[in-house]
Amino acid sequence: MNMDSTIKMATKDKPLISIVTVVFNGEKHLEQTIQSVVNQTYKNIEYIIIDGGSTDGTVDIIKKYEDKISYWVSEKDSGIYDAMNKGIDVANGEWINFMNAGDIFFDNNVLESVFHKESLATDNIDLFYSDSITDKNIRYICNKDKRILIHQALIYRLSLHDEIGKYIVVKNITTADYLFFMLAYNYRWHKLNFPISIHDTKGISSGLHTFLQKNAIDLLFGFNGRIKAILYLATHPAYNFIKRKLFR
């Protein structure tokens, strides 16, 4: 475990940004994520890595960059959202972003573009978000009102967790981040005109299981009526594929 003895502080012109990377057995992809963080031209960054007790070479990679990491730990956890909550617990920034292993910032100037002095009109913003680029070089169009969001492409006030709570940790729940952002739906959002992230498409937030959970959350928040929810399920390709296999 490492905790940087040099505590970074926010200033009027340079708010402190906490970047959290969650990883487990990610030696193939972690280094590119670390480099995308430590090479940001914006330097008032607190970098936190939460490793779930990896058994490959992940910890060796972390130690390689230890002088650039504010805090890291390697220990067993109860899944990705438990690990993300651990990052929240030790974060000191005014703003927070999760750039997990396999994900990277779109370029080295992303944070400078968001927080540089000339455009620092952040008093009336709680969440920045943007489109994201997939690891297949496809632009993923995000839209808060359509509830299309990628957590790597969000930078938001850490204080939202004091008001809303942290990510729920329940077995087989793969949409705790989506639920959190729906709870923050009526806060002050701002879409950036440039991408924040290039995201790994092989994460847990894909597939029919996640689709069903998101649909249930939308129904609970009144975004979808019951008929619309049923139509979504009935027209989802994976749903129909499974239905044919089970009931042919």
Residues 19 and 13: their CA atoms lie apart, in Å, by 18
* Beta strands across the sheet bearing 189-191: 2-3, 71-74, 45-51, 17-23, 95-98, 154-157, 127-129, 189-191
Structure tokens at 73: 């730990």
Structure tokens at 211: 């689709």
Render each residue's pLDDT in the chain as its tens digit; 248 residues: 565 544 566 565 789 999 999 999 999 999 999 999 999 999 999 999 999 999 999 999 999 999 999 999 999 999 999 999 999 999 999 999 999 999 999 999 999 999 875 555 678 899 999 999 998 889 999 999 999 999 999 999 999 999 999 999 988 788 899 999 999 999 999 999 999 999 987 765 556 667 777 777 777 777 766 666 565 555 555 445 544 554 44
Residues 158 and 177: their CA atoms lie apart, in Å, by 14
Per-residue model confidence as pLDDT tens digits over 141-175: 999 999 999 999 999 999 999 999 999 998 878 88
Which long-range CB contacts under 8 A does 57-65 form with residues at least 24 apart? 57/27, 58/23, 58/24, 58/25, 58/26, 58/27, 58/30, 60/27, 61/27, 61/30, 61/31, 61/34, 62/30, 62/34, 64/31, 65/34, 65/38
What pLDDT score does 154 carry?
A: 97
Residues 9 and 25: their CA atoms lie apart, in Å, by 32
Residues 119 and 143: their CA atoms lie apart, in Å, by 22
CB atoms within 10 A of CB 192: 16
Looking at the DSSP bridge assignments, the partners of residue 157 are 95
Residues 82 and 49: their CA atoms lie apart, in Å, by 13
What pLDDT score does 191 carry?
A: 95
Residues 101 and 20: their CA atoms lie apart, in Å, by 10
The sign of the dihedral angle between the CA atoms of 67, 73, 74, 79 is negative
pTM for the model stands at 0.85
3 state SS of 19: strand
What pLDDT score does 40 carry?
A: 97
